[in-house]
Amino acid sequence: MHKLIFATAVAVSALSLGGCATKDYVNEMVAGVDTKVQATQGQVSQHDTRLSQLDQSTKEALDRATAAGKLAEGKFLYSMVLSDDSVKFKQASAKLSPEATQRLEAFAEKLKNDNRNVYLEIQGHTDSRGPDSINTRLGEERAEAVRLFMNQHGVPLNRMATISYGKQDPIANNKTREGRAQNRRVVLVVMS
């Protein structure tokens, strides 16, 4: 009888230990899966953030394209070029010189005095040195510097659009220092 009770006790103990080992194994596996799920959720969150940034960039590009479309529909009235000796941009710079700001102030006053609903296309240009991607970005920065200056002097942002030509549309030979200086310019095209 004692043997039967002892055997039963051993069997019950073995079963309960086996069950505990199984629970521990399951808990360990679940913890591993939870860690992977949390890591995946973090990656999904990062991707959502990146997609949101891309959506914003796309919206801004669409707004610029829409403004450029309005400009394209208008008639050319006149243009101003910031490229004479006093207002050329320095190499790899989008900073407006004091001379450029004086000319832009006078230009903004002319636009306000004309009191016409005009659109401005502000074109940024560079010389041929450097890669296309950097020149395109630099041309955009130059045009944007002029756009912000004009806005600070009373020209509404919705009446201006910027475009970068980078080094694609030179007006002088890029093989000379003087030619490269002439090519570092911003052109303001006024359309009705």
Give 9-45 pLDDT, tens digit per residue.
655 555 555 555 577 777 777 777 778 878 888 888 8
48 backbone φψ class: left, alpha, beta (φ>0; ψ -120 to 50): alpha
Q: How far apart, in Å, are the Cα atoms of 144 and each of 117, 123, 138, 163? A: 21, 9, 10, 9
Q: How many CB atoms lie within 10 A of CB 143?
A: 25
Confidence band for 140, pLDDT divided at 50, 70 and 90: very high
Q: How many CB atoms lie within 10 A of CB 174?
A: 15
**What pLDDT score was predicted for residue 80?**
67
**What pLDDT score was predicted for residue 4?**
63
Q: How far apart, in Å, are the Cα atoms of 152 and each of 54, 119, 148? A: 28, 16, 6
**What pLDDT score was predicted for residue 50?**
82
**Residues of the chain with pLDDT > 70: what percent?**
75
pTM over 0.75, yes/no? no
